[in-house]
Structure 1
């Protein structure tokens, strides 16, 4: 079967298959080589992610699998922190997870994947930066205090914790918090509402994920295509290409 790449995260992962999204770009990048499977949950923090992770990624035996590593995905991205970093005294307080718990939750998520799929490359992504002015213009929530429920400084603290977890667990990390702020006018260039990604922001995540996967030895050029390519089919005897299938 075609191997998989799982994307596990919050809304920035759930929306990654929208027009111009980083998930859809990744699926196109690995077209015919690997299936990119989205497991994104809008609004979720790492505490909630740990509550559902065994339902999101059930054991292979539950699907009639062998339980060995043959069906392990090629890679899995873990992209949480934007909701954990909500301030505890603002309207998003119910999503807040203290920094020390966030760090431990990430370690637990990574450990879950390592135990389940020892050969799978795990890539964690820091939360993005926050445009506080953009969050004040969010029309979807009531904000009686008229103060942003997230700050860029707080997001930066969670990004640093994410980087520390990667070092502790010996896995790759993308510091998207720092990367995006290197873009002139990043607040509006990369973020649509102070948090979620514009097309440009999605492109940055896509390019960084591809770069890290290549460093891990994963690229379309190194993966076999599923079924014979059109260029491999003999026009005089087309069925010959399928003779051993």
Structure 2
């Protein structure tokens, strides 16, 4: 039996998700022998650059497209013009259009594919400034390259795209800020996730998967558990498995 694929498509927050305590590694562990979790995260990428990857990662002619794809972009698109990371900036309307193009492409790959959008997380501007000084010294730019207000605007646009496209969305920007002290609890450098932040993404994603009948408890194993293999006639236990 060939396991279905879950592809995690996004920027550095996705790329880092297979690190210890990451939401991707938690997903791979939970769906062991149920689904193959494939990491396609690209640090520093915005939705404009992500469009160039679609045909390469998700070819339309694939005979076995992914069952689930998470699309997690926006943290870089929301970088501010005139600041240190302005080359990553994508205007808000273009960001929305790019998300629509990504979703359309994925739906053209498979009309049964579950596409899950994830909004950019909130930004702890003080945490970003502290990270910049620790990394680049006191000469680091004082003005943050991202603000929480701008991240929230992109998050709201991501939600709008999800509604317009009829796909589920994890509103990470709002969900994290429901917790007092979210800045230190969920963010390691004002932007990227702590183990607790990763756990929140995993929990929210698991809710959506479960609602769509894809809870790992209910999905079949690829091959039989060792305890049910007939040691007298092992071949019988593998009949019908492809």
**SS where residue 180 of structure 2 aligns?**
coil
Q: How many residues align?
A: 237
**Does structure 2 retain, via aligned residues, the 8 Å contact 1:85–1:154?**
yes
Say if 1:72 and 1:119, in contact at 8 Å, map to a contact too.
no
After superposition, where does 1:148-163 map in structure 2 within 5 Å?
148-163=144-159
- In structure 2, relative to structure 1, the CA distance for the partners of 1:237 and 1:42 (3 Å cut) is same
Report what 2:3 is aligned to.
Answer: 2
Flag structure 1 segments of 5+ consecutive residues without an equivalent: none
2:67 to 64, 69, 74: 74
Counterpart for residue 22 of structure 1: 23
**Gap change, CA 1:123 and 1:141, over 3 Å in 2:** farther
> What TM-score results when the alignment is normalised by the length of structure 1?
0.92
Would the aligned equivalents of 2:123 and 2:191 in 1 still touch at CA under 8 Å?
A: yes
TM-score scaled by structure 2? 0.93
Q: Does 1:119 align with 2:116?
A: no
Separation (CA, whole Å) in 2 of partners of 1:172 and 1:43: 24
Q: How does 1:1-245 map to 2 (within 5 A)?
A: 1-60=2-61, 67=63, 71-138=64-131, 139-140=134-135, 144-243=140-239, 245=241
5+ residue gaps, structure 2, are none
User: Contact conserved, 2:58 with 2:106, CA < 8 A, in 1?
Assistant: no
